[in-house]
Amino acid sequence: MTLHEHRLPGFVELAEPGTGAQGEVVLARHESGGPPVAIKYLAADLLGDTAARSLFRDEAQMLKRVDNPHVARLLDYLESPWGAAIILEAVPGRPLRKVLDEHEGALTPEAALATLKGSLLGLAAAHAVGVVHRDYKPGNVLVQDDGQSKLIDFGVAVLTGQGGQAGTPAYMAPEQWDGGPATPATDLYAATGVFVECVTGEKPFAGTTLAELKAAHSEGFTSFERVPEPVRPLVRHGLAKSPSDRAWDAYEFVSELESVAVQAYGPDWERRGLLALGAVAAAVVTAVPLAMLGGALLAPGASAAGTAAGTAAGTAAGHASTGLAQGAASVDVMAKTGTSASKGFLSKVGGPKGAAAIGTVGVGAVIAAWLFRPSEPGVGGEDHGLLHAGLTRPGALTSQPNMPASEGPTLDAKISIAPARVKPGTTVRMVVQVRARMPYGGKYLPGGRRQCFGKDANRQDIVQGYDWTVGGGDSPQHDESPGSGWQTVGLNLALYRSPPAEREKLAGLTSPLLLRAPPVKTDNVEAYVRSECAYMTEWTETRTLTLPGSTVVRPGRYLVSPINPLRVTKTIRDGKPIAPAEAGAFVEGTLPMIEVLDS
């Protein structure tokens, strides 16, 4: 238990703490405002333990090294006489462990591959700065509503080459059992093991005791008949007994994965995988921001192999969220609280301008509808929708014939409207959260492998000189600046009468009623993210209007869209228009619905 006097000054706790064996995790917000953060405290009874403090500090140092959209970001580490705290971004989501347990069966191959790819990108970022996670497992992967995942809990991470027995027995590589040096191949072994569990519904190695598990890992994986045939080469490569026979570089393993996935499941495999994974995750009712902190600290000198169950989960359940994954904002805790950080490091954390607030934009959005209407008649309630725009053949637009569909430009919009049941004269408010990806500066080789030369590269063989527009038929506005010129903002809301029975069928929606509602655009963040080889942009649009009388809007149900028409309206390659169909342009998802009552 971390006593109140050992709490970080200046923060208000928003949820009951999750207690682990060696510390606590709380969701909190600074009293002056700002986004929620997750704070991991060292237990009060360990504050006098030099070894425990050192382990805690080491975890923060490891997290400090890694800055990637697929890893939960460290915001600050503080240590003073009152105690020690690791402050991280609060990411709404669900542990993959909980997703698999409640799903009770195998994920689709595409969903399993999407999970593995996201994890590999997070591990690659850690490996690039010399950090080996050593405890990759389903409990340390956080799945968000859009199917994207984040790697969490670096509590037993070490620098490449360091040894020791630590990890979770079900996924520990043979060299971990022997206390050998940890390498990137160690993490890729565990990631492949989790992939096997995702795609088969069963753990890769059977055993109820440490001795049985150690023997199973030493003998090697043999149950290939349980694994879908197209992905067996990936499993064989990733679960090789010897590190030298395994995949070593996570980025190369991602290239291998994408090549297999495209050949076996088509160019849009990742979009379908993220949709499927997000749908499964959404079925897990509670999103747990604190789950990202995963295991509690190991006791000094202890190892997961010695406790069999590994580290205990330190989460606080019950905090549901349907919001987009929160971008991490740098927090200058020391300036607000007057406390000082150990050795003065990391009062602020951030990457290139704007990049800290941008997560990887997924190529899929969860096709789901949430209806929170009151049961009694009258004005009230709220409704939501999700739209995803992309290209199935992006190479036709970017002049990169080897570009996979998963690497193409995308736009995702989460839409909320309230109230969802209205009368004439009711004021209606729509909020649209937009996340977009604009590839730039990359060259794609056969098999889909990417080489990124950056936004300032002066080459003729890289992605450049293209544009695309989603909607915008009711507005001439168009911004030609890099990374934002490909999205035209409409001035009207489009209302579609007599919506189809299945709300995701958008293609048949035509002839909308247009109501003028210019958007107010806020929270705009744009940055070039080298790991994505793309401009990444986020912004929020808010539209407010007073519903006109029944002579304009008749009683009934309407789907409401901020985009009109609901399609990609323009694609330009090297300054010349091409047909959107040539690039496989599409818009899919759901729209929020309002019910107009008779006054």
* Alpha-carbon span 133 to 153, nearest angstrom: 8
8 Å CB contact between 19 and 316: no
* Alpha-carbon span 476 to 488, nearest angstrom: 8
Q: CB 416: neighbour CB atoms within 10 A?
A: 18
* Alpha-carbon span 154 to 55, nearest angstrom: 11
Strand partners, 28: 13, 37
Helix (H) or strand (E) holding 544: strand 534-546
8 Å CB contact between 18 and 290: yes
DSSP per-residue letters across 473-528: TT------STTTTT-PPPSEEEEEES--SSTT--TT--SPEEEE-PPEEEEEEEEE
330 Cβ contact list (under 8 Å, min separation 6)? 75, 348, 349, 350, 356
DSSP per-residue letters across 52-98: HHHHHHHHHHHHHH---TTBPPEEEEEEETTEEEEEEE----EEHHH
* Alpha-carbon span 20 to 7, nearest angstrom: 16
Quickly list H helices, 352-432: 395-398
Identity at 224, one-letter amino acid code: F
456 is catalytic: no
C-alpha Rg value of the chain to the nearest Å? 25
8 Å CB contact between 94 and 143: yes
CA torsion through residues 10, 292, 158, 206, sign: positive
Is it true that the peptide bond before 565 is cis, omega within 30 degrees of 0?
yes
Which CA distances in Å does 189 have to 172, 592, 599? 8, 43, 64
Q: Considering 49, 67, 101, 135, which one is annotated as catalytic?
A: 135
Which CA distances in Å does 334 have to 47, 75, 312, 338, 350? 20, 12, 30, 5, 16
Among residues 503, 520, 524, 504, which one has the least CA distance to residue 436? 524
C-alpha 471 chain-centroid distance: 26
In a 13 Å sphere around the CA of 271, the CA atoms on its Cβ side amount to 26
* Alpha-carbon span 146 to 274, nearest angstrom: 7
23 Cβ contact list (under 8 Å, min separation 6)? 2, 40, 41, 42, 43, 46, 56, 296, 297, 314
* Alpha-carbon span 478 to 319, nearest angstrom: 40
Q: Cite the active site residues.
A: 135
